[in-house]
Each structure stands twice: as C-alpha cells, then as structure tokens.
Amino acid sequence: MSEDRVIIDNEPKRTSVWAVVSLISGIANYLGFFFFGAVIALITGYVAKNEISDGNGQIEGERLASAGVILGWVGLGVSLLMVCLLVAVAVGLTGGAIFGIFSFLSQ
C-alpha cells in the first residue's frame, strides 16, 4: 500500500517590501525626486528581484519590482538628458563664453 501525501501550505504569501519601495521611488522620480528617485528605484528593484527569487515562492511582487526597475531606468535616462539640455542651454545663453574662460591658458 502506498500513501500519497498532500502537503497543504496555509501560509499566506507576502509581497516584498523592496518591490513596493521600488515602485514608489520610481513614481516619485517623476514627482520631484529627480535622479535620486531613479537610483533608489533601481537599487531596491534589483534587491526585490533577488529576494523574490530566493523566497521559494513565498514572496510575491515580481511585477512591482520590474515596474520599479523600468521606471528607474527611464527616469535615469530622462535625468541625464535634462542635464545635457541644461548644459547646452547654459552654453547657448552665454554665447560660448564658458569655454572662452579657458582660452587664456592656451596662449
């Protein structure tokens, strides 16, 4: 006689706190925490993905973490583009005088 054992797991799955923080930081990046929100979203998103993969199916939030990582990368790209745009505007407004400051060194 063989007995088939059925293991019922009654423990509720929990959502990763890191995944939630990643999503909130990714959204906050567009609401005033430029660059820092993106960096925090990326770091916590990757931490959440590692936590979820090591959780043996007991931890949820993979899509939250992925959304946070995507928002973080896009936000980081937008932040870097804004810095480039600000530098270009500053050079344009000064007529290139910023680079003229260093012209005396070459003489």
CB 59 within 8 A of CB 52: yes
Asked if the structure places residue 7 within a domain, the reply is no
87 found inside a domain: no
Please spell the DSSP secondary structure of 17-33, one letter per residue: HHHHHHHHHHHHGGGT-
pLDDT digits (tens, 9 = 90+) for 26-43: 999 999 888 899 999 999
Q: Does 89 fall in a domain?
A: no
- Give the structural domain span for 33: 14-80
* 83 and 49 Cβ atoms separated by less than 8 Å: no
What are the backbone angles phi and psi of residue 10, rounded to the nearest 5°? -95, -5
Q: List, for residues 58-87, the tens digit of each pLDDT value.
A: 899 999 999 999 999 999 999 999 999 998
Assigned domain for 97 exists: no
User: How many domains does the chain divide into?
Assistant: 1
Contact 28, 72 (CB under 8 A): no
The structure's pTM equals: 0.75
How far apart CA 74 and CA 98 sit, in angstroms, is 30
- Identify the CA nearest to 76 among candidates 20, 24, 18, 33: 33
